[in-house]
Structure 1
Amino acid sequence: MKHHSVTTTLGEIAVAEAGEGPVLVMLHGGGPGASGVSNYRQNLPALTRHFRVVLPDQPGFGGSYRPTDEDLDKRSITEITVDAVFQALDALGIETFHLLGNSLGGAAAIAMAQERPDRVAKLVLMAPGGGWLPFGPTPTEGQKEMFRYYNGTGPSEKKMAAFIRTMVFDHKQFGEDVVKARYEASLDESHIAFYHRYNAAFARRGGMDPMWRDLHKIKAPTLLLWGRDDRTITLDGAQLMLKQIRDVQLHVFGRCGHWVQLERQREFEDLVTGFLA
């Protein structure tokens, strides 16, 4: 795996990459301790056989710069991410690419495909924010757990275990080692400070940007992947995406929550590889 620190006008963006072939950019979710490598490490052996996989850390996460209050007042985290990721890809000489995003990263992926449809060859969205319009109560159970994690008494392994339980269908497949690793990754002080700013900005804006309004602007053939039992970005909100995206298909996994790439790893890798091929 190669690691880059790419300079953009916003700040430094950390990018990891591995493999050769058509470029596949993978955007991670927004949970505590998330980063490109931590979210997709287990999928790299399969995907790098076919693709040059590029894993940016989105602004605020991993090794990338932390947006300030002023940044988040001017623009949403999705708008900031789209700007930063396009600049990073430009710096790496990447023009056209396949794009995959999960949750918060799914929102950025939708916005990138809407803003520059000429650059996104094919699009894979896993329970994406922004394009999803929930019919049930909000915030969802998973969103509440994400908010609680850094608030109150602050992060702990017990809170991380509770967070993971809401992210997946069967938490027993993720042992204490997974909880501990994710907990330790969440303790960076600059990331914690960013998370408080990020949550406050979400509250001021009323949640994610409403990208569902412009789903018709997506030109790329699109694969939606969703866990039937997702308690964070719930399946009921997918109907609008199925109606408004021109070339779209949906694969639903029973007995699966928000982390499709982990819970149904082999099927996820086969579906993504087949669709992009």
Structure 2
Amino acid sequence: MELIMISGGILVVPVLAFITSFLFWPGTLLKAYNWYWRRGATPSLLLLHGFSATKDMWLPVVKYLPRNQHVVCVDMPGHEGTSRTGAEDYCIQGQVARIHQFVKSIGLDKRPFHLVGTSMGGNVAGVYAAHHPADLCSATLICPAGLVYPTDSEFISRLRELEKTEMKDSIPLIPTTHQELEDMLKLCCYTPLNLPQQVLRGLLANRMPNNGFYKEVFMEIVGEKSRHSLQENLHLITSPVQVIWGKEDQVVDVSGAAVLKTSLPSCQVEVLDDCGHSVALERPRKAANLIMDFLSAQEVNGENAKKLS
């Protein structure tokens, strides 16, 4: 798996410039950051991206993290710089196994770290917390997939409608045309991005060669084995959990936040107004601040527990 281990550097990049660079020259953005290999006093952050994204999606959030914060961003199995041998298991449990292998290979498990995941990555992060509690000090789940949602999202409703038509193989998160790409962006972001046509063409051209792989992964994570994997493992989670959700999420419905609160009564839930599914892009500063505030609170709670024992 490809990774970047960085400290939160100073990078002032407007959303449009970020997306343009992300689409065409993602590697150039990394040069604007300090590489930071030694772990500090606070727990390291391991960030897991969502379906069909890459580790670079976290750069807007990293921009607002403390400069000395140790951060590890990794491409999820098969995505971007990660190899595809044809033998990988892309179900959620398979992805958890690969992430755990990665954690051990870089020695991140030598001290408890904070795990953050969004969407598919949130599903993986939750199941990881359930099966590898000793690795973690806490976890943040951002708009996680893998729950039983009381309310269908717009995305799920569209899938159900497509199943009734000749377009049953069409998946709104895997665009094949310019119009489908625009529809996907509207689905993922509450605030319109209004990207230039050249950028949209570049994004579609970058995604198209990977569409076969994306469909393979999608069918795995919505299949019977993975569809409700987070829900099925909630009872095993013992680490402190933070939940962040965009109130206007059209991909995985915000009603999932109440599901998590019911199963994990002590979890901290933050619902962001005027925000959709792409929290890291739409509200990066807020996401970074919430994560760091949660980490600080856990440290205080840990110190208080030591004093009482």
> Rg: which structure is higher?
2
Q: Is residue 83 from structure 1 mapped to residue 108 from structure 2 by the alignment?
A: no
In percent, how many aligned pairs have the same letter?
A: 23
| Corresponding letter in the other structure for 1:79 | Q
How has the CA–CA distance of structure 1 residues 48 and 55 changed in structure 2, closer, same or farther, with 3 Å as cutoff? farther
Equivalent residue in structure 2 for 1:267, among 279, 286, 289: 286
Q: Which runs of 5+ in 2 are unaligned?
A: 8-35, 163-169, 297-309
- What is the aligned partner in structure 1 of residue 65 from structure 2? 47
- Are the aligned partners of 1:27 and 1:57 in contact in 2 as well (CA < 8 Å)? yes
Q: Is residue 135 from structure 1 mapped to residue 135 from structure 2 by the alignment?
A: no
Superposed displacement of residue 136, structure 1: 2.4
Superposed displacement of residue 155, structure 1: 2.3
Structure in which a larger fraction of residues adopt strand: 1
Question: Structure 1: how far apart are the matches of 2:218 and 2:47?
Answer: 23
- What is the aligned partner in structure 2 of residue 8 from structure 1? none
- What is the aligned partner in structure 2 of residue 4 from structure 1? none
Aligned positions of 1:1-277 closer than 5 A: 13-19=1-7, 20=36, 21=40, 22-31=43-52, 34-37=53-56, 39-47=57-65, 49-66=67-84, 68=86, 71-72=88-89, 77-95=91-109, 96-130=112-146, 132-137=147-152, 140=156, 147-148=171-172, 150=174, 155-171=176-192, 173-176=193-196, 179-180=200-201, 182-187=203-208, 189=209, 191-202=210-221, 204-205=223-224, 208-277=227-296
How has the CA–CA distance of structure 1 residues 166 and 220 changed in structure 2, closer, same or farther, with 3 Å as cutoff? same
Superposed displacement of residue 88, structure 1: 1.0
- What is the aligned partner in structure 1 of residue 15 from structure 2? none
> Could you say what the CA RMSD is over the residues aligned between the two structures, in angstroms?
2.5
Q: TM-score, normalised by structure 2?
A: 0.73
Superposed displacement of residue 109, structure 1: 0.0
How has the CA–CA distance of structure 1 residues 142 and 28 changed in structure 2, closer, same or farther, with 3 Å as cutoff? farther
Superposed displacement of residue 142, structure 1: 7.5
SS in 2 for 1:242: helix
SS in 2 for 1:223: strand
How has the CA–CA distance of structure 1 residues 204 and 116 changed in structure 2, closer, same or farther, with 3 Å as cutoff? closer
Superposed displacement of residue 204, structure 1: 4.5
Question: Structure 2: how far apart are the matches of 1:228 and 1:162?
Answer: 19
How has the CA–CA distance of structure 1 residues 253 and 203 changed in structure 2, closer, same or farther, with 3 Å as cutoff? closer
Question: Structure 2: how far apart are the matches of 1:178 and 1:247?
Answer: 43
